[in-house]
Amino acid sequence: MAIQYPENIQRFQAEYQELIADFENVFRTDGITFRTIALFLDEVKFFWLERLDVIYFELEELTETNSCFVLCGAIYLNISDYEHFYFKSLGDYHLLFDPFLKIEQFFRSQEDRVDSTETIEYFNRVFSDTIEILTHYQNTFFILPIRQLSVKDEEERHELLGKFFLNFLSSSFDKEFTSQDDFCHQYETFEQIENAMLPYVSQKLVFNEDDSEDMSLREKLERHCNTQMNFLVLAKEQSEPQIFLIALYSWVSQIMDVLLICLYLRIIPYIRFGITFRYLVLIMYTFIDDQTLREVIEKTIVFYIFRKATNVEIFENRKFSEYSMMIHDKNVLANILDKMKEQQIDIFHGGIKQVEAIIQEEFAKYRKAV
């Protein structure tokens, strides 16, 4: 019997929908608590681990000839803000990290260590968005255990990220730090840290989406503490250098981790969140000598430019299914990259405005086509 890839992945989306529906009932009767969520997460973990091998195989086949984007730097897609339109606009296949696995850690920690009301509220948003995807956009977006597919040994990965972070830290201060403790011994305040940092890095370092370059490190970090979920609880009783390291590590390790995962699975990160993107820009020059990574990052940048340059209005009052079908076989990404090549644009050294123009010109065609 002939099957067509990704037949299993598609079937798993339907099975996953059933699992979530079962738990919708549990949540209705037992309530949404840290405990019921943790029990739900056990089922989710088991569900994916059981299917991991065949998913990996199918994904490998899929990525061999297709551009497969994965949403990174965000927990969930957020259908209500037309994000599915944006995501669907470039590339052949669109993958999502299982959002529940991304927030698992919150529910595995002691309840008193996090703001439980806020965390449960967030879980609710993730749950609704996931149901929405599985109900209305199943097989348009594939929810997959992306991390479990690519990271076999979490401890090893953690060590690797730690080493990379220390290198990043040392190069940002033009100074050799032997460990994070070593860093904490050398500075006491945000101001000392800011003064010791290389001016270029200090200027580019952001912790909040609307941080401006002339803000002080203290301002940026204090705003960060107040806006990030559970950060205040985490930062309690931490020294200023420790707070700086926690905040910086979370962003630097996130982008590094994304690159490692995507490289391993031959998928391309779709980054829409400004801070994540800025950290990509901060670290990307270390990697672009490698042709594969260069191409991956180039596509990520193009997608980001598209996301920022495209007004949501073009999607409003539009049926997603029609848009999705229309854009499906247009090779938009390849066309954009071809034009960039024709115009000899090296995105790593500028030309953002030109790329923006190319993208708008390209999408103008499809606007007419509808």
Whether the CB-CB separation of 235 and 264 falls below 8 Å is answered with no
Bridge partners, residue 271, by sequence: 72
Cβ 45 to another protein shortest distance, Å: 4
Q: Count Cβ neighbours within 10 Å for each residue of 154-174 and write b for 16 or more, e otherwise.
A: eeebeeebeebbbebbeebbe
Instruction: Supply the minimum distance, in Å, between the C-beta of residue 108 and another protein.
Output: 6
101 vs 347, beta carbon nearer another protein:
101
| Residue 45 vs 339, nearer CB to another protein | 45
In the complex, minimum distance from the CB of residue 111 to another protein, in angstroms, rounded to a whole number: 9
By three-state DSSP, how is residue 53 classified?
Answer: helix
Query: What is the nearest approach in angstroms of another protein to the Cβ of residue 259?
Result: 23
The nearest distance, CB 38 to another protein, in angstroms, is 3
* Amino acid identity at 289: D
34 vs 315, which CB is nearer to another protein? 34
Task: Give SS3 for 97.
Answer: strand
Interacting residue ranges for another protein, rule: CB under 8 A? 22, 26, 34-35, 38-39, 41-43, 45-46, 49-50, 52-53, 107-110, 152, 154
Q: By C-beta, is 43 or 362 nearer to another protein? A: 43
Asked whether the beta carbons of 252 and 168 are under 8 A apart, the reply is yes
CB 23 to another protein: min, Å: 8
The CA distances from residue 171 to 176, 201, 318, in Å, are 8, 9, 48
- Give the torsion sign (CA, 76, 77, 78, 80): negative
For another protein, give the closer residue by CB, 248 or 265.
Answer: 265
39/131 with CB nearer another protein: 39
Those residues whose C-beta lies under 8 Å from the C-beta of residue 177, and which sit 6 or more positions away, are: 166, 169, 170, 183, 186
SS3 for 215? coil
Q: How far apart are CB 135 and another protein at their closest, in Å?
A: 21
Instruction: Identify which of residues 111 and 356 has a Cβ nearer to another protein in the complex.
Output: 111
Query: CB of 230: closest distance to another protein in angstroms?
Result: 16
Shortest distance, position 161 Cβ to another protein, whole Å = 17
First CA to last CA across the chain, in angstroms? 38
Which position has the token pair 């606007």?
367
* Residue 325 near residue 95 (C-beta atoms within 8 A): no
- Shorter beta-carbon distance to another protein: residue 53 or 191: 53
50 or 118, CB closer to another protein?
A: 50
Q: How far is the CB of 145 from another protein (least distance, A)?
A: 12
Q: What is the residue-wise DSSP string for 316-353? A: TT--HHHHHHHHHTS-HHHHHHHHHHHTT--GGGS-HH
Nearer to another protein, 26 or 225 (CB): 26
| Spatial separation of the C-alpha atoms in residues 135 and 150, rounded to whole Å | 27
Q: Where does the chain have alpha helices with state H?
A: 7-30, 34-65, 83-88, 99-102, 104-108, 116-136, 146-150, 154-173, 180-186, 190-196, 199-204, 217-227, 231-235, 240-265, 274-284, 291-309, 320-328, 332-342, 352-369
Give the residue carrying structure tokens 């994904």.
59
